[in-house]
Amino acid sequence: GDFEQQMKNCYADLDKILKHYGCTFDDVIVENVFTTNMSLFLEHAAYRNTIYTKQFPTGSWLGVKELALPEFMIEIELEVHKKE
């Protein structure tokens, strides 16, 4: 039930995946956020400033009725372009 912690957990997990493939958040070109509570997301959206320090990717913020598990409040989907 802690939205802020779920958001931080999502970004921490995504960071691990990006690093596994030799990427960082600087390589993200699209970020889509799905949330069951848009007002809470907007309240905590500034946290993204600590993730994207150079530029923000394009993307969408979508309010949804539910996610895979009832306790999930946020899901983040990324598209990445790995620079060679």
Query: What's the residue count for the chain?
Result: 84
pTM for this model (two decimals): 0.93
Residue with tokens 């983040």: 76
If one counts every other C-beta atom within 10 angstroms of the C-beta of residue 35, the result is 23
- Rounded to the nearest angstrom, the gap between the alpha carbon of residue 41 and the centroid of all alpha carbons in its chain is 10
Instruction: Tell me the domains of the chain and their CATH numbers.
Output: 3-80 (3.30.1330.40)
Question: pLDDT tens, 2-43?
Answer: 999 999 999 999 999 999 999 999 999 999 999 999 999 999
Q: What is the per-residue burial (b if ≥16 Cβ within 10 Å, else e) of 1-17? A: eebeebbeebbeebeee
Residue 84 has pLDDT above 80, yes or no: no
Mean pLDDT in the chain?
A: 96
